[in-house]
């Protein structure tokens, strides 16, 4: 089940997605973290953020909408406390997810994370739809995405993966711009922009009005975009994300072109889902006569 993200080997391709496992320690009460392929930490900004007003979650028939708003303790606290605490209980690769509201903030946080020895990969979120004047504002323009990529690569030595937004007309244009600007890899997709209305109150369910839609309903969209991007950027490793909740869907995502797969909304419904997927993967591989997962990446 081993796969290679660039020069980094993962014992399996399953990764809890940023924002769905805190900083890892939160999941350790019920899950053996060392069975995971890697861990993507909660999105980190320069300053501490409380996030958006409540309520922040709205359920949907095929997923959920969230507008958490990048709640986090800030990069200095993450480096001082969260990363060392995670390393005490987890030996595998850590993917440090970074967010920002300006190119300067992205560069600052990435430069600080680059000095953090416990971070193997820096995942740069230019696709968060839940904050104003940040995140997705950079991920919906090829020029802005490239500018963030160049700024981050200028101050880092670690592999940089740009996390892309599905809320665009042509995701391959954004992906190519990031790769041409120096990105070592890509992660997609982040959530799609959605809304729910409380018809009795005649108000949006979420205080932020709109939020990121995730869950099984977005899987076919994520699969299509991963396939498009992997073909548009050959040789660039892709982390697939979006609605994955089973071992079969991990295989499907890898056949579409993903080297590794992040599990997001499914973690919130079932905190054991990553372990269940990892346990089930060898059975599915046997059923499909797959000897090595690395062999099926991008075969479709």
128 catalytic residue (yes or no): yes
Active-site residue, selected from the candidate residues 21, 110, 128, 274: 128
Angle at 101 between CA 95 and CA 102, to 5 degrees: 100
Angle at 18 between CA 12 and CA 24, to 5 degrees: 70
Handedness of CA 226, 230, 233, 239 (dihedral sign): positive
How many residues appear in the chain? 300
8 Å CB contact between 95 and 261 = no
Helices (H), 9-126: 75-77, 83-89, 103-114
**Total Cβ atoms within 10 A of residue 239:** 26
Could you give the residue numbers annotated as active site? 128
């Amino acid at each position: 089940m081993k796969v290679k993200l660039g020069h980094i080997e993962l014992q399996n391709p399953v990764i809890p997605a940023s924002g769905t496992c805190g900083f890892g320690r939160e999941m350790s009460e019920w899950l053996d973290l060392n069975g995971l392929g890697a861990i993507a930490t909660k999105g980190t900004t320069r300053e501490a953020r409380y996030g958006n007003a409540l309520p922040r979650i709205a359920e949907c028939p095929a997923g959920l909408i969230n507008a958490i708003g990048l709640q986090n303790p800030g990069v200095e606290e993450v480096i001082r406390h969260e990363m060392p605490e995670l390393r005490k209980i987890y030996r595998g690769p850590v993917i440090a997810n970074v967010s920002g509201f300006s190119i300067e903030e992205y560069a600052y946080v990435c430069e600080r994370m680059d000095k953090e020895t416990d971070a193997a990969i820096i995942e740069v979120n230019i696709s968060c739809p839940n904050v104003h004047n940040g995140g997705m504002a950079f991920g919906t323009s090829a020029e802005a995405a490239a500018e963030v990529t160049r700024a981050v690569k200028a101050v880092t030595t670690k592999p940089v993966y740009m996390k892309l937004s599905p809320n665009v007309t042509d995701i391959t244009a954004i992906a190519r711009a990031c790769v041409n600007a120096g990105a070592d890899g890509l992660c997609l997709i982040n959530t799609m922009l959605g809304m729910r209305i409380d018809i009795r109150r005649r108000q949006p369910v979420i205080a932020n009005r709109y939020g990121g839609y995730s869950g099984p309903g977005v899987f076919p969209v994520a699969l299509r975009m991963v396939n498009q991007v992997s073909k548009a950027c050959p040789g660039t490793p892709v982390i697939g994300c979006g609605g994955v909740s089973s071992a079969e869907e991990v295989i499907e995502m890898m056949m579409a072109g993903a080297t590794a797969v992040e599990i997001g909304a499914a973690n919130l419904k079932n905190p054991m889902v990553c372990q269940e997927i990892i346990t089930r993967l060898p059975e599915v591989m046997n059923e499909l006569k797959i000897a090595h997962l690395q062999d099926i990446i991008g075969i479709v």
